[in-house]
Structure formats: structure tokens, C-alpha cells
Amino acid sequence: MCQYETLNFKRSKGFAVITLNRPDAANGLNTAMARELVDVATTCSEDSSIKAVVLTAAGKFFCAGGDLREMSGFGDQAAQKVKALADSLHKSISLFCRMKAPLIIAVNGVAAGGGFSLAITGDLVIAAETAAFTMAYTRAGLSPDGSSSFFLPRLIGLRKAQDMAFTNRLLTAPEALDWGLINRVVADDELLNTAMELAENLANGSLSSNSMVKKLFLDTWNNDLETQMDAEALGISQCLGSADGQEGVAAFLEKRKPDFGNSG
């Protein structure tokens, strides 16, 4: 288990668990957390033994966004230091989105501002019944960061995204599910177990297959139909040619459960 100032990071059964751990500060994103997120994202991206990643938080909040108390102390260097903080957060998000392992985000409480942005980047997003989602940027005279201006319109449509951004509308977990912002809602006391079970199932699956799914969905926004179908053809051929693909086909034909223990 790695030691961090603002995070907990541990590995279990082929997957990793990242826990935002500044509960007394509503898990606010400060400079240290942004840098540490880059470090754990790099680890998850480079370690092929990690086949799924869970990101959650300690305490009552998932993340209340950027640490405005820290930002207020930046003084004359505020613009430069906030840019550096955002750059670190963005690097971690890019790594999480492009790593092979699926990212499961378990939202245990309020996700606001940068915490909202981080929450919606997951490949699968699970929320506790008492979780809530709000952008909250303009309330503090700020604008979105953390990739929300990219993902949010694609997840829920431009009009709903504009509604959330301009009005700081608060969505309950059931409303977020109805809007298509998240994948499922579970009881508060079932959140972590649900996320762990899902991560374990993914870790027992094919990393090469799951990573191709991630890549195809991320690239689809920039491709026309034919380009995307070319990517699909290349992807499925690469999967079939991999050890996992060979094992998956053999297991299907032999009517047994596949063993993807050697994913890569």
C-alpha cells in the first residue's frame, strides 16, 4: 500500500482502489492531491497487473471541487498556480481515460466543481443514494475544468449541460441516473461492496478486450462512420490475435469459463 498525503492507494485481487482522503476539507482538490492523482494514475496506467481501478472518497463528500481556501492564498501568483493545479488534474484524467484498465468511480457523497468533473470521467459510475451532483463553478465566479465541458454534453446533451453549468442545478443520484450522467444508484452501505465486486469481475475479465472497448468509445467522438468501423475491424482482429482472444474463443467452444489470467 503506497503512502500519500491526500490519497489512499491499495491493490487487491488484480485491481486497485484509490480513495480521496481529505475528509475534513470535503476532499477538496488542492495542489498536493492533483499531483498525487497524477502519480497514482501513472502507476495504474503502467502496471499491467492492474486490470480495473476503483476511485472513491472517504467521509461524507466525494469531492467539493477545488480547494478555494488554498487558492485564496495564492496571492499574485493565483493565475499561474491554479493553471498548474488544473494541468495536473487534467494529466491524471487523461491517464485514467487512456489507461487499459476500466475506471469505476464510486460516488459516496456530494460531487461538486472539480469533484463533479472527476466523477463523470469514469467508464462506469456508481452513486450512493445520498450522493448529489452539481457543477458549482459559476457560483464562485469560475469556469469548468476537469474535462466536464468535454464529457458532460456528450453524456446528457448540450441543453442539459448548459442548464447545469449556468444554474448550478443540483442533481440527486436518482436524477443523475435518469439524465444518463451515471450508471447506477445503490444504497449507501452497499456502494463500496458493489464497486469492489464490479472491479473484481472486470479484473477476472480480459484486459485487452476491455482496453479496446475504452479506446473505441473515447475515439468515436472524433471519427466519421467509416473511420470508426476501420478502428473496430482493427480492434477485433487484434483482440482475436491476442492470448485473451484465443482463450475466450476456446472457452466458448469448449463451453467453459475463460481464464484470462495472462491479460496484457
Q: Between the CA of residue 252 and those of 95, 234, 247, 256, what are the distances in Å? A: 33, 22, 9, 6
Residue-wise pLDDT tens digits, 113-161? 999 999 999 999 999 999 999 999 999 999 999 999 999 999 999 999 9
Other C-beta atoms lying within 10 Å of the C-beta of residue 262: 11
CATH number where 235 lies: 1.10.12
Q: CA-to-CA distance for 233 and 231, rounded, in angstroms?
A: 5
Cα Rg for the chain, rounded, in angstroms? 19
Residues 227 and 140 in one domain: no
Domain span at residue 15 reads: 2-203
For the stretch 55-101, pLDDT in tens is 999 999 999 999 989 988 988 899 999 999 999 999 999 999 999 99
For residues 223 and 105, membership in a common domain is answered with no
C-alpha cell at 204: 477476472
For residue 258, is it within any domain? Answer: no
Residue 174 and residue 185 in contact, taking contact as beta carbons nearer than 8 Å: yes
Residue carrying C-alpha cell 482475436: 240
Task: Please tell me whether residue 107 adopts helix, strand or coil conformation.
Answer: strand
Number of domains in the chain: 2
- Three-state SS for 130? coil
Assigned domain for 260 exists: no
